[in-house]
Structures are given as structure tokens and as C-alpha cells.
Amino acid sequence: MTPVDRIRLEHFTLRQVLEMEACTRCGECIPWCPTYVAAGDEAITPLAKIGHFRAFWKAQHLGWLARLFGLRKPTEEDVAAFSRGTYACTLCGRCAAVCPVHIRTRDLWIGLREQLVDWRAYPEVFRLLQERLAATHNISGDENAQRLIWAENLEVQPPALSALGQADTVYFVGCVSSFYPTVYSVPQAFAGILAHAGVDFAVLGPEEWCCGFPLVIAGMGREAEALAKHNVEAVERAGARRLVTTCPSCYYTWQHTYPQLLGRPLGFAVLHATELLVDLVHSDLPLKRLEMRITYHDPCDLGRTSGLYDPPREVLRAIPGVDLVEMAETRERALCCGGGGDVEMGDPGLTEKVAAMRLAQALDTGAQTLATACQQCKRTLAAQARKDRVRLRVVDVAELLWQALRP
Amino acid sequence: MDRLTLFWRLHLALLGLFTLEVGWLLSLALRARVPGLPPEASRWRKLQVLVGRTLRFLFSRRLFPFLARLVDQGVLHRQLIGISRFRWAVHLLVFGSFFVLGLLSTVTGIAVEILPALFPPEHILNANALSSALRDVDHPVVALANEVLGLLLLLGLALAAWRRYVRRDPNLRTVASDGVLLTLLALIALGGYPVEAFRLLAEGNALAGGWGFVGAGLARLLAQVPADWGAWHSGAFWFHFATVNLLLFYMPFSRFFHALASPLIAALNAREEAP
């Protein structure tokens, strides 16, 4: 760990600095924090994170007044606890949803991570992530030329942009769907639906690089600029009117982070897959009946972060025979799956504990199927269901729709 | 120099110190980014842009909806009702009472000291029922308002202390500064009653009663005790003054700064969350 005597408020907006001052320490966020509830580590609470940082920056600038009021410069132990708590956060944003003062915590936690990156006080795994992304342009470390490995067994291959040259819609698959076999079924289903519905689309294949989301949320956003530039240029070369993705984190990154990183608006629309699927299910596509009771898990980056709660539900309700039941905690207050915020990379055990909590909520509904609209949520929840021998099928909304649609 | 002159000189100086403290904190906070400006922009440039934006905002149609949210979300904390009516009541008792007491005291100061210095006695700003009421410390409405608001503040502080130290709500994380703050606020609220009682005793009005029923009751109780009540009044007055100003000095460097920052943030962010 390196000296931590310099605190850069430039990681925050002025409003964020005021947000830290506005925290009343009422503690309303504490019981809603999934990783705190799972781990019981006080350093994870939003109060501790804000309290630590507020004390650190004031101790640096207020001199003897800081000492008078008991504010001291951070020791290595303080920074270690601060780092542990800050990186054990899934960035689910539930704390913001319940905050009586409306503090927008998620962006604040990313700012804190940027400060920890300045101090080189971040988990080692993120250094490896940086290196892997620089070398292979994807989070798995596989050869990026293998981007279409998920499509190898398909009867009809998804059209690649390299062959077509131009496409109206670009399907951005994302690293997890591209390289993790347990969720290959998500892009397979979505590409199947697009082809079946006659949508003029193409995938980027090896030209697709990681969107940069894992770096941005790790506090290494500056290093995501090259990835953003490459991806946007690839889509622009295709002359696409819109980009669609099945990954909520990629969706948020394209929709909100890229225009900020590049300092300009993108010249095409960005959609999450469920927004496109809503249009398709209302366009007279014949759907088979699926008799099943389903509960829906809101992915944090799609729901709380991007505000998309209804499109996935609308798709599910459009499938004949589906009985959609809600979990006790849903929409703005939905519990995280545990797989967000890069927590899985640093502490997989913590991710498992949160996933088990969410599975218990799903089981309480009596549903046999747990649908979501995120490959990472599917991967996390399905792995935990297998581990806990829970009789619950975890699927993506696109998979269910494809099941109802395929010949 | 008489007591009131000394009071006003000190009070204005300490208010100036408070303003300097807040200004210093804000100048440090200006190291943070301001959207629309490059991160390396100077703090002076950021301040210029922020002042410009604020002025444009103040003269725009967005002001009144913002003020409505400031009251609804920032002061009344309506979102808290959905979480806990009890907590909401405690918030209103403490923040609401303190806020109105502070407002009443400020308006009284203006009516008693500033307006007569600026305008002749027959001017409408001096010769009206409200100014007369504020200048009369024994006016029923003013005396009753001060008395009741002080009691409501004490009730709120007692409930807050009960939540924190007796019931020990699992969400709360109690630190030493919580105790300091609750004690300071309680000393401010409690300190007003002896000032009132000793004033009545010093003026020889201890048995005359009055609308400030706690102070008047205390004066009645002490009426038979031989003492230099003028000196006691002076001591209680300066103690009350010192506790109020200690809080002002402490505020920008303590968690109590949220009393200023949270209404603003709640109003700003609630606007962006609105559909």
C-alpha cells in the first residue's frame, strides 16, 4: 500500500461532496445493503464509507480545526477498512432508493473507488483485470477472436458485421454472454428471436471489445476510454441506426457512460434487448403457450440504474400461459443478485451469500421459474441454485420468449 | 457599553465567523468537479459559473417548483413518513422547532434593532402590529410561541436520545459527537427558560404571570428567594448566547452541517428523480 496523504476531490462533483455532507447518518440504508446484511462487516455500510471519506478530506484540509474535532488523517489500517468496505459493495443502489435525503450513492461509491485507485489501495484482482482487458479486450482473458464461440452450435449463424459491412441494428453481446458457457443460451436465444422476426442485425464478433464497465466501476474509468472509442467507431462504421444489448451493464455504459467519456452524443440509439422485445411481442408474432409460474428479478443496472422496470415484465406477460408473480422486494427495492459491482471478482463467497438471499425470496413466491434480463444475474443465481440444490429454473427473458417462439 | 450593544456586536461578529467557516468549506469543496467545466478549471472559474447558474435559476420558472420541493422533501422530509411516522415526528420536532425558533429570533432582531435604525418610528415597517408584537417581549403570541417551540424541541431531543441510548435502534450508529450535539441542543433549549424567569424576577414581575408559562412558573417558584436576579439574568443570558454560538461555530465542522446541506440535496435530487 502506498502513502495516502493526498485526497483528490476531483473524483467527485461539487454536488457529490455536498451529498456526503448531507448524509444525516440516519442508518436507513443499512438494513437494505445486501452485502452488509450478508457479511456483517461494518466497513461496508454507506455510513462508514461516507464517514471515512468525509473525515479523510477534512483532516487533510482543516489543519488544527480537524484535530480539534477529532478528524485525523487516514492510517494504513483506516484505508484498508475503507477499501474493504468500498469494494465489497455490489453498487446495487438500494441505499439510494431508501435514502430520505435522496443521496445518489452509486456514483459516490464509484468516486470513492477512483480515490482508492489513486492510492493503489484496491484489490489485486483489479490489476489483473486491467492487464487482461489491455491484452485481450475481454474480461475472461480468452482470445478475442473467439467472441462468437457461443454461436458455434447454432443451426443458423448470427450475421457478422465483418461479412455484411452494414447493418441497421448491431447486437452487442457483452463479455459474459460471449465467454461463459453457462449463459451462452442468452445470446443464442436473442439472436434466434431477431432472425425469426426478420430484424436486420449483425454482431461485431472479434471487433467487439469489452464495453469497459468493469473498469469504470472499479474506479479505473480513464482506462475505459480506448475501449469506448474502439466500440463506438465499429458501430459507426456499420452505419447502424441502433445498438441493442442483452447485458444491462453494457446498456448503461453505452447509454450513459460513453457519451460522457467521449464528450459527444452517440449517433445511434441504444436499447436494452427487452425494449426491442416489447416491440416484437406486440407485432403479431405467434407465441406458443407456456404454462408456468414465473417470478422476475430486476437486474440492478437495468432497474434502479437505468429505470427499465416494465419492458421485461411486459414481454413476460405477453407470453400466453405465463403467471407472473412478484417477489416481496421488487422494482426500486429489489434485492441484488450479488453478482454486481465486481464483488464476485474479489469475494465470490459474499456474492454467493447475497444470491442465496435472493433465491429464498424467489422461492417464497411459489414460482418454478426465476426470470431475469441479465446474463450476470442469471449466471450468479443459477450457480447458487445448483449449489444449494434449489428447484428453481433460472432463465433470461429472451430465453423464455424464444421458447415460446421457436418453431 | 450596555449588554444589548455588546450582544449585537458579538453576535454579528460570530455570525460573520460562521459565514467565513461555511465559505472556507465551500472553497475547499470547489476542488471538486463542476459539470460543464474541465476538471482542471480554477476554483475561481468554478465559482463564477456556479454564481451565474444560480442567478439564472433564481430568475427562472424552475424556482417555485424547487422551493416547493425544498419544503416538501428538504424540510418536511415527506419520504420519511413512508419509512417511519415516529422518526418523521422526531425530525419535525427537532428540526422544525429549531428552524422556527431561529427564524423568530432573526425576525425579532430585525424588528428590534435594524428597522428602527433605518426608518423613522412612524414608518409602516416600524409602526405595525407585527413589529410591535416582536418588540414586546411579553407579547402573548411571541412569548407563547417561544415557550411552546422550546418545549417541542426538548421533547424531540428526548425522543431522539431515547432512540439512540435507550431503545438503541439497530440502524443507528452512535458516536461521541451525537452526544455532544444532543447535549448542546438541549442546553440551548433549556437555557432560554432561566433567561425568561430571571428577567421577570429582575424586573419585579415574578408574580405577574404571563404567556411564557414555563419561565413565568419558574419565576413564581423563585419569587421568595433573595438574590441579585439582575446578575442571574445577565449570567443566564450570556450562557444562552454562548451555547447558541458554540453550535454555530461547531456546525460546519460537524455532522450537524447536514441541517444545512440535506434540505438542499433532497430538493435538488428529488427533482431529478421525479418522473
Query: What is the per-residue pLDDT for A134?
Result: 93
pLDDT at B231: 95
pLDDT tens column, A150-167: 999 888 889 887 777 788
CB contact under 8 A, A15 and B268: yes
**B181 is a domain residue:** yes
Nearest CA-CA partner of A224 in A201, A196, A200, A253: A253
Q: Average pLDDT of chain A?
A: 93
* pLDDT for res A109: 97
Compute the average pLDDT of residues B50-56.
96
Tens-place pLDDT, residues A133-150: 999 999 999 999 999 999
Confidence check: pLDDT of B275 > 50: no
| A220 and A295 share one domain | no
Paired sense of beta strands A201-203 and A242-245, if any: unpaired
* Same domain? A260 vs A332: no
Residues 175-194 of B with CB under 8 A from A: 176-177
CA distance B130 to chain A (A): 35
Query: Based on the domain organization, do A197 and A264 belong to the same domain?
Result: yes
A180 within a domain of the structure (yes/no): yes
Min Cα distance B87 → chain A (Å) is: 10
Is B261 in contact with A22 (Cβ distance < 8 A)? Answer: yes
User: Is A180 found in the same domain as A263?
Assistant: yes
Please check whether residue B238 is in contact with residue B191, taking contact to mean a CB–CB distance below 8 angstroms. Answer: no
Q: State the cell numbers at B218.
A: 419558574
Q: Which residue stretches of A256-387 are H helix?
A: 258-262, 273-281, 310-318, 343-346, 348-364, 375-387
B70 → chain A, closest CA residue:
A101
- Distance of alpha carbon A395 from alpha carbon B199, whole angstroms: 76
Pair (A178, A158) in one structural domain: yes
Is residue A389 domain-resident?
Answer: yes
- Suggest the residue from A6, A15, A58 to mutate for an interface test with chain B (most B CBs closer than 10 A): A15
Task: Look at B266 and A13 and tell me if their CB atoms are within 8 Å.
Answer: no
Point out the residue among B32, B250, B265 whose CB comes nearest to the CB of A10.
Answer: B32
In a domain, B55, yes or no: no
**Ranges A108-117, A149-158, A245-254: which has the least confidence:** A149-158
DSSP A289-303: ---EEEEEEPPTTTT
Residue B174 forms part of a structural domain: yes
Question: What is the predicted pLDDT for the residue at B39?
Answer: 85
Give the mean pLDDT of A387-398: 95
Q: Is residue A23 part of a domain?
A: yes
Contacts of A18 in chain B (CB under 8 A): 29, 261, 264-265
Q: pLDDT tens for residues B168-223?
A: 999 999 998 899 999 999 999 999 999 999 999 998 887 776 788 899 999 999 98
Cβ contact A159:A198 at 8 Å: no
CB contact under 8 A, A18 and B39: no
Instruction: Please state the ipTM of this predicted complex.
Output: 0.89
Residue type, B159: L
Cα Dmax for chain B = 71
What residue numbers bound the domain in which B136 lies?
A: 65-270
In this prediction, residue A67 carries a pLDDT of: 82
Other CB atoms closer than 10 Å to residue A380's CB: what's the count? Answer: 27
Number of separate domains in chain A: 3
Q: What is the pLDDT of residue B4?
A: 79
Q: Is residue B54 part of a domain?
A: no
Q: From the candidates A11, A19, A102, which should be mutated to test the interface with B, based on the most B CB atoms within 10 A? A: A102
Q: Which domain holds residue A350?
A: 285-405
| Measured distance between the N- and C-terminal CA atoms of chain B, rounded to whole angstroms | 59
- Taking only residues 201 to 240 of chain A, the set having a beta carbon closer than 8 angstroms to any beta carbon of chain B reads none
- What is the residue whose three cell numbers read 459559473? B49
pLDDT at B157 over 90: yes
- Evaluate whether residue A131 is within a structural domain: no
Judge whether A18 is closer than 8 Å to chain B, CB to CB.
Answer: yes
Question: How high is the pLDDT of residue B273?
Answer: 60
CA angle in degrees (0–180, nearest 5) for A249-B269-B250:
120
Tell me the nearest-neighbour CA distance from B93 into chain A, angstroms: 16
Q: Is the pLDDT of residue A1 over 80?
A: no
Residue A63 lies in a domain: yes
Is residue A366 pLDDT above 80, yes or no? yes
Assign residue A114 the CATH number of its domain. Answer: 1.10.1060
- Looking up residue A247, the CATH number of its domain turns out to be 3.40.50.1860
The reply to whether residue B171 touches residue A27, judged by beta carbons under 8 angstroms, is yes
Searching chain B, which residue's CA lies closest to the CA of residue A97?
B273
B69 near A CB under 8 A: no
Residues A223 and A301 grouped into a single domain: no
Any B CB within 8 A of A98 CB: yes
Instruction: For residues A274 and A298, state if they share a domain.
Output: no
Same domain, A142 and A225: yes
Mind giving me the DSSP string for B65-108? HHHHHIIIIIIS-HHHHHH-HHHHHHHIIIIIHHHHHHHHHHHH
- Looking at residue B220, its pLDDT comes to 92
Three-state secondary structure call for residue A103: coil
Instruction: Judge contact between A139 and A210, C-beta under 8 A.
Output: yes
Residues A267 and A154 grouped into a single domain: yes
Q: Which three cell numbers stand for residue A400?
A: 423464455
Does residue A330 lie in a domain region?
A: yes
For residue B256, being part of any structural domain is answered with yes
Query: Is residue B43 included in any domain, yes or no?
Result: no
pLDDT of residue A84 exceeding 90:
yes
A34 and A147 housed in the same domain: no
Same domain, A351 and A366: yes
Q: In this predicted model, what pLDDT tens digit does every residue of B85-127 receive, in sequence order?
A: 999 999 999 999 999 998 998 888 888 878 888 888 888 888 8
Residue A240 near residue A134 (C-beta atoms within 8 A): no
Q: Which residue of A has its CA nearest to B270?
A: A102
Q: For residues A164 and A247, state if they share a domain.
A: yes
Instruction: Place A4 in a pLDDT band, splitting at 50, 70 and 90.
Output: low
Length of chain B: 275
Residue B116 covered by a domain: yes
pLDDT digits (tens, 9 = 90+) for A176-213: 999 999 999 999 999 999 999 999 999 999 999 999 99
What are the residues whose beta carbons fall under 8 Å from the beta carbon of B24, sequence distance 6 or more?
Answer: B252
**Per the structure, how many domains does chain B have?**
1
Inter-chain touch A61–B254, beta carbons under 8 Å: no
Please give, rounded to a whole number of angstroms, the shortest distance from the CA of A372 to a CA of chain B: 24
The answer to whether the beta carbons of residues A23 and A47 sit under 8 Å apart is yes
Alpha-carbon span A177 to B169, nearest angstrom:
44
- Answer yes or no: is B275 within a domain: no
- For the record, the C-alpha cell of A312 comes out as 421485461
> Hunting for cell 457529490 — which residue is that?
A16
Q: Last residue of a domain, which of A248, A278, A308?
A: A278
